[in-house]
Structure formats: structure tokens, C-alpha cells
Structure 1
Amino acid sequence: MRIGILGGTFDPIHLGHINPALDVKQQLNLDQIWLMPNHIPPHKNTTMVSSFHRIEMVKLVCQHYSDFQLCDIEIKRDTPSYSVTTLTLLTQQYPEHEFFFIMGMDSFIQLPLWYQWQSLFSLCHIALCQRPGWKLEEHSEMAKQLLFRHASINDNHQIKHGKIFSVNSQLIDISSTEIRQRLHQHTDLQSVLHPSTRNYIEQHHLYR
């Protein structure tokens, strides 16, 4: 199967995660999207709520979208969640699958800071979503990678890794940090949170 992987702290999961993932699935003709919350993110100091609450919110979203499936490989890990380590394990466990690692332009620009980032291209494709306010510098390392590896959505590629697919997505210019701030201020977030997520946050008095 063709599987999209969307990782993150999901603190909380919101439509800025959900909508682009659905667009990636539709435009790249994927079979499933695996939502992969991390337990110990390597690029952040901490999360605001526990792994238990974050994974429960992801489970609720998966119940409402048949295209989504929870991938708990990182949430169960007691060490930092390096993407290359995770993708190595996934390709070993599921050699029959073709993986598409979903990331926004903000993450793509900073990819050279990631642990063993170049090895990702030997494990999966990249599904690249634009994000407002982020643009590649013309002569940067990642601009060169995009030029070299860019593939058309309609390409009948024969290899299972190493390509970069640009996806037009329904972008919501908001971060989990902003959502947490607005939750703390009791601001209405109907436009950026799935109802199941809003209800769970209210029920458990999170981010208050």
C-alpha cells in the first residue's frame, strides 16, 4: 500500500494537521494516512499535556476519518523520536508498503538540522505542503534537493523512495502553540479544531 506518514506532537491535533493530510492522500492517491504522535520530540523541550491525552485525541480523529490510522511506534518509545530511526523500523516491518513522509515547508527548510536527514531519502518519499510565510532560499541546500528530486504527482515512478512531491493543501495559518494560547484565553476554536478534539479538551480541562 501507499502510506502517508504525518508525525508531530499533536499538542493538540488540529485542522492544520488534518486538512493537509487529507489533501496529500487525495492528490497522491494514497491508501492510508498514519498519524504518528511522538513521545519525546527531539526538537522541542516538552509537551503541554501527557502522551496519554495526545494519543487519545488522535484516536478520536481516526474514528471520524476512515482515511486515518494511528501509528503508535514513536509514542511507545522512551528515547527521542528521530524520523530516520522510525522510518527505518517501519520499512523493516512493512517492506511491502511505499511511504510518503508528510511535512510542511517550515520543516523542509530546517531538514538539514535533523538527525541523519539525508538517509530519509533512501527510506521514503517526501510529500511537501506549503505553509504561509515560509519560502526556500534560491541557492539553499534544500532548494537543490527539491530541484533534483521533484516529481510530478502524475509520474508513474518505479522506485519506492527518494522523490519529493509538492502538494496543494488547504492551509490554516495557525500553530498548536497559538491554539494552546487561545484555549487558555477561552477563545472559540471551532474553525481550527475538530469537534471531537474540542469536546475532549473541555471534558479533561486541558490547556487551561
Structure 2
Amino acid sequence: MSKKDYIGIFGGSFDPIHKGHIESLKSVTEKLNLSKVLVIPNKVSPLKDLSVASSLEKIKMLEIAFKDFKEIEIEDYELKKEGPSFMIETLQYLDKKLGKKKHFLLIIGEDSFQSFHRWKNYQHIIKMTSLLVMNRPGLKNDLTTKAIELHQDCIENTYGDNNFKKGKIYFIKINPNPASSTHIRENIDDQSVLSEGLDDDVLKYLQEQKIYNKDD
């Protein structure tokens, strides 16, 4: 398959989008020479609390964060739909929109992989995509080991010259930034935490809009 037929999929709450998201996605995009990656913010995650930022604020922060990345597009499907966001439904929507000849590379962090068995129709998600798992610092290794054991039949140790297969799980080694959206929200008045974890222009926008301290 031509590399141009691969489409990266990177979903999340992005509440807010931080350097960990940006640097990880940039690293994977460059490492795999991807020509198109869809960043898909969700409105209601089944496995997380409700977002603080509105849909419009998320879109704006993502546009600011990825303004210099020509390969990255923002897909707002999950923000527009009612109810919780399920990746299986998003993939089915993209299948119809982009055509079945496209090969989706679903990019997730190691933390998400640890709970991947809780995703709706997770086995079908694997069949529809190549699952790319990025390492993340500060996690309990035993949970990753358990997840690997659970999905053992799908694990591939190598991907050659970007030769990805649907129904397989690959581990992508990057140099991850430990930034956390939760830590940023909980320390919204600590300028050092914000400067360390957020893109300068994203920080400027969220402070101007008072997204996480609207009671001030």
C-alpha cells in the first residue's frame, strides 16, 4: 500500500491540548512520513469527566496548536454528534466519508492502551485499523503488560518500511513530553506549569478567554 493511503487518526479530549499531544503527534507523523493525520476532539468521552472547554474553544486551541503542521487536519465529527464519542462510530463515519481503500492508523498513548479493552467494540476497532501505541512516562508497567497479554494475538514487533497491517497492534517509540491536561487544569494559576506544558499561543488564547478560570 502506498504511504499516501495511510491516514493517521488521533483522538482525545484535548482539554486543553498540550505539548505532550503536539510533540508526540509531530514525532509519529515525521517518523512514519505520514501525509495526512486527522485530529479528532471529543465532546463527551465515555471514560472521562465532562470537558471544561467548549467545542468551539477546543477547535480554536487545536487550530492554534497545529497551525504550522500541513499534514494535520481537525475533524469535528465527534463535537457535532449527540451523546458520548465512540471511536468505532467515528471510524465507520470516516469509512463512508473517505472510502474503504484508505488505511487508518489509529494513534493512541500507552495510557489509553492500558484501558483499550473497555472501548466499545474494541476488537472491531483493531480489525478496521492498525493500532499504533506511543510510549508514555510515569505509567504502571504491569498494566501495559496485562494489556499486551490480552491482545497478544494482534501484537506485531516490527513494521518494516511502514508496512502496516490491519488488525495488528504496533508500538511506536518516541521521546514523550510528560505534560498532562488534568495537571494543567488543576494548576491553572501556576505560570510555571502552564509555560512548561502549553504551547505559547495556546496559553495566550486560553488565558485571554479564561477557559479554565471563568469565575475570576
Query: Quick check: TM above 0.5?
Result: yes
Out of 154, 157, 167, the position equivalent to 2:160 is 154
Give the corresponding residue for 2:110: 105
The RMSD of aligned alpha carbons is 2.1
1:195 is displaced (CA, Å) by 1.6
Out of 48, 51, 68, the position equivalent to 1:47 is 51
Give the corresponding residue for 1:64: 68
Out of 119, 122, 132, the position equivalent to 2:124 is 119
Structure 1 distance, partners of 2:126, 2:144, is 21
Give the corresponding residue for 2:91: 87
Question: Mind listing any 5+ residue stretches in structure 1 that lack a counterpart?
Answer: none
Structure 2 distance, partners of 1:34, 1:182, is 29
- On the 8 A contact 2:22/2:66 being kept in 1, the answer is no
| Change in 2 beyond 3 A, CA 1:146/1:189 | farther
Out of 174, 180, 184, the position equivalent to 1:179 is 184
SS in 1 for 2:8: strand
Identify which range, 27-36 or 142-151, moves more after superposition: 142-151
> How many residues are treated as equivalent by the alignment?
207
1:170 is displaced (CA, Å) by 2.5
| Change in 2 beyond 3 A, CA 1:147/1:174 | farther
1:158 is displaced (CA, Å) by 7.0
Superposed structure 1 runs of 4+ greater than 6 Å apart: none
Give the corresponding residue for 1:200: 205
Out of 19, 22, 46, the position equivalent to 2:23 is 19
Show CA shifts across 1:62-82 (max 9, x none).
322222110111111112110
1:25 is displaced (CA, Å) by 1.2
* TM-score normalized by the length of structure 2: 0.86
- On the 8 A contact 1:23/1:168 being kept in 2, the answer is no
Q: In the alignment, does 2:31 pair up with 1:35? A: no
Show CA shifts across 1:2-30 (max 9, x none).
11111111100011111111111122221
> Identity of paired residues, percent?
28
| Change in 2 beyond 3 A, CA 1:139/1:37 | closer
1:141 is displaced (CA, Å) by 5.0
Out of 136, 140, 143, the position equivalent to 2:146 is 140
1:164 is displaced (CA, Å) by 1.8
Structure 2 distance, partners of 1:156, 1:50, is 37
Show CA shifts across 1:145-194 (max 9, x none).
256431523256474x2122211222112210101122234445223211
| Change in 2 beyond 3 A, CA 1:188/1:131 | closer
